[in-house]
Amino acid sequence: MQILYILRTIAMYVYMFGYMLLFYGTLRRAEKAAAAGDRETVRQIVNYHIPRWCQGLLRVAGVKMTVEGVENIPASGPVVFVGNHRSYFDIPIMLVALDHPHGILAKEELANIPLLSRWMNLLGCVYVKREDVRGSLQALKDAADVVKNGESFTIFPEGTRYKGVEGGAGEFKAGAFRIAIKTGAPVVPVAISGARALYEDHSCIVRPGSVRVTILPAIRTAGMKKEEQTQLPQAVRQNILAAMSRLEQTIL
C-alpha cells in the first residue's frame, strides 16, 4: 500500500508542474496583459486556470472536499479571508473553496519556485520573510494596498503551520488583522479541518482523505472601536476553533 501512496505523491508533483508547463503560453499572455495594465484579461485567466489547476491537484491527491457557508461571503467589496493553517494543502484548498481565487500572504520561499511564483504574482500574492520585522511590516502594507485597490485577500494569521492536535490552532497574530482594520474590509473566518492528514502526518507522502471547509459569517471592521480591534484576532480564532469542533462532532 505504501508504494501506491508514493506513486500518488509522484503523480501529484508531475501534475502540479506539468499543468504549468502545458499552459506556459497562457501564463505569458497573462503577464503581457498585466504589463499593459489589462487587469480584466489577467483576472479572467487567473479565475479560470488557478481553480482548475488546484482542483486537478486535489483530485490527483485523492482529496474529497466539502465546503459550507459560501453564502457568507459578502456579495460586493473586498474582504480579508482568515484561515487556520495546518498543511501545505491549505493554499490550494482556499483557492478552490472561496468565491474566486485571491491573493495570499505567503512565505518568501514560495517566491523562488519557478513558474509557481509567476502565477502567484498574477494572483496578487505578497511574500513575507517571517524573521524580518521591517520586511513583515512592508508585506502587510503591500497586502493592505491590494485590498484598497478592491481585491480580496487571504491570510493565515498563525504565521506558520500549526503542528498540534487536530482541532487546535496556534496564536493568531494581530499584525495580519491590520490589513482589514486599515482598509475597513470585513474579515471572513474560514475553518479548515482534515488537511494535515493528507500529507504532513505521513512524512510528506500523500494519502487520500476528506477535508471540510466552513466559511463563517463576515465580521465588520469599519468603525470598530480600539478595544474591539485588539480583541479581533482572538475572537476570530475562537470562531474558527468552534467551527472545527462542530465539524469533528459531525464526523464522529
> What DSSP assignment string belongs to the chain?
-HHHHHHHHHHHHHHHHHHHHHTHHHHHHHHHHHHTT-HHHHHHHHHHHHHHHHHHHHHHHTEEEEEE-GGGS-SSS--EEEE----TTHHHHHHHHSSS--EEEEEGGGGGSTTHHHHHHHHT-EEE-TT-HHHHHHHHHHHHHHHHTT--EEE-TTSS---SSTT------HHHHHHHHHHTPPEEEEEEES-GGGTGGGTT----EEEEEEEPPPB--TT--HHHHHHHHHHHHHHHHHHHHHHHHHH-
C-alpha cell recorded at residue 107: 512565505
CA atoms within 13 A on the CB side of 4: 4
4 pLDDT above the threshold of 60 = yes
Phi-psi category of 86—alpha, beta or left, where left has phi over 0 and alpha has psi -120 to 50? Answer: alpha
pLDDT over 70 percentage in the chain: 98
Q: Where does the pLDDT of residue 252 fall: very low under 50, low under 70, confident under 90, or very high at 90 and above?
A: very low
191 pLDDT above the threshold of 70 = yes
For residue 249, what pLDDT is reported?
62
Domain positions in the chain? 62-251
Which of these, 141, 148, 150, 115, lies nearest to 40 by C-alpha position?
150
Q: Which CATH superfamily is domain 62-251 in?
A: Glycerol-3-phosphate (1)-acyltransferase (3.40.1130.10)
192 pLDDT above the threshold of 80 = yes
Q: What is the pLDDT of residues 150-181, one digit of tens each?
A: 999 999 999 888 888 878 899 999 988 999 99
pTM given for the model: 0.93
Q: What is the pLDDT of residues 63-106, one digit of tens each?
A: 999 999 999 999 989 999 999 999 999 999 999 999 999 999 99
